[in-house]
Structure 1
Amino acid sequence: MNSSSPNDNKTDKTPQPTNEAQPVTGAPSSNPSAASEPDSSKGEAGQSNQPVVMVPPQQAIIPTWSTGLFECFDDIPTLLITAFAPCVTFGQIAEMVDRGQNSCGLYAMLHAGILYFTGCGCMLSAYYRIKMSQIYKLPNDPLINILVHLLCEPCALCQEYRELQARGFNMQLGVGWRNQTPEIQQTGGVTLPPKVPGGMNR
């Protein structure tokens, strides 16, 4: 009885370490943290190899006139014509804004008639200032554009006249829309983006 009990105890104790050793040998494969660490390091290495392109923030372009409202004395002849006959300057501007739909003389007579009978010729010229602002992406606040013509129409007309000149229009009397350059007649003075050569396609 005594000899059999120690043998049984030995046989019971010997397989226990072998059973405990098996999960120890498989511990690295069953440990989730150990398996995830090399994967994360590979991911970081892969991300570090890719170049990082920094895109600069786009800045909004603030629309502005090419000349100031009170720079009338830069063009004395136009200032004198506009001071004594604003309908003439308005006719030149309206013909260019409407791309020659009507002649300068017709616009001038319309402005003079409204000015003579109602005294509100500035409302017609203010409408064309708003229209011009929309075409050329200039400061487009209808209230301000109307107030500018109400308070100082000669200055407003001279500014619009100079703006069209800056965009390539020939604003001399008698030239009109029909005698403008083909480029002006095609684009209407609207600034176009630069042309990219055929081999530089993006």
Structure 2
Amino acid sequence: MQSSTRQPEYDTGNPTLPMTAPSQWSTGLFGCCKDCYVCCLTCWCYFITFGEIADIVDKGTTSCVVQGAIYLMLSLLSGCECIDSFTYIHTLRRQYNLAEQPCNDFCVNCCCKCCALCQEYRELKHRGFKPSLGWEGNLARHNQGVLLPPVGPVKMKR
């Protein structure tokens, strides 16, 4: 007869890290009236709002003008601009650990494009960005108080 031996369960040694709950957005999806300027800009020129958001979220790797033009062309030619904006809201949520509300990012962008863009814009403003300045302008604004020591002429020595 063979005795059945049970394999002991081993600890892998990897600590289990507690998952942090996603943080909340600074304003709700339908809080468009909290910033009338952004609401009006987005209603009439949604591609400008998108371009400014994309410039900040991409950390300046693509320009506001290029992203806004791509978004406008997608909107006019195919009506599938929500695919482009989906990637940016998803990236923004990941960067700031924001909750996916009231439903998933793709549905929000397809059904409530203007509301989603306004919410993203307000979130960036809440986080200290001024989206109309772009990534470079915001860096310059945040680094304004930082002074570097002057560099004098280098003398050659023998």
Q: Which runs of 5+ in 1 are unaligned?
A: 1-57, 186-202
2:143 is equivalent to residue 169 of structure 1: no
8 A Cα contact 1:134 1:140, kept in partner = no
| 1:182–1:79 distance in 2 versus 1, CA, 3 Å | same
Q: CA–CA distance in 2 between the matches of 1:170 and 1:181?
A: 10
2:48 is equivalent to residue 88 of structure 1: yes
Instruction: Identify the residue that residue 39 of structure 2 maps to in structure 1.
Output: 79
Q: CA–CA distance in 2 between the matches of 1:92 and 1:139?
A: 22
The structure with the greater share of residues assigned to helix is 1
Identity %, equivalent residues: 34
RMSD: 2.2
8 A Cα contact 1:168 1:184, kept in partner = no
Paired positions, count: 125
Q: Which runs of 4+ in 1 moved over 4 A?
A: 182-185
Deviations 1:116-141 (A, max 9, x none): 11111111111110111111111248
Larger Rg: 1
8 A Cα contact 1:100 1:178, kept in partner = yes
Instruction: Identify the residue that residue 125 of structure 1 maps to in structure 2.
Output: 85
TM-score (norm: length of structure 2): 0.72
Q: Which runs of 5+ in 2 are unaligned?
A: 1-17, 144-158
Aligned partner of residue 134 in structure 2, secondary structure: coil
Aligned partner of residue 102 in structure 1, secondary structure: coil
Q: How far off its partner does 1:60 sit? A: 4.7
- Report 1 or 2 for greater relative contact order, CA contacts < 8 Å, sequence distance ≥ 6: 2
Match of 1:116 among 69, 76, 84: 76
More displaced stretch, 111-120 vs 59-68:
59-68
| Aligned pairs (5 A) from 1:59-70 | 60-70=20-30
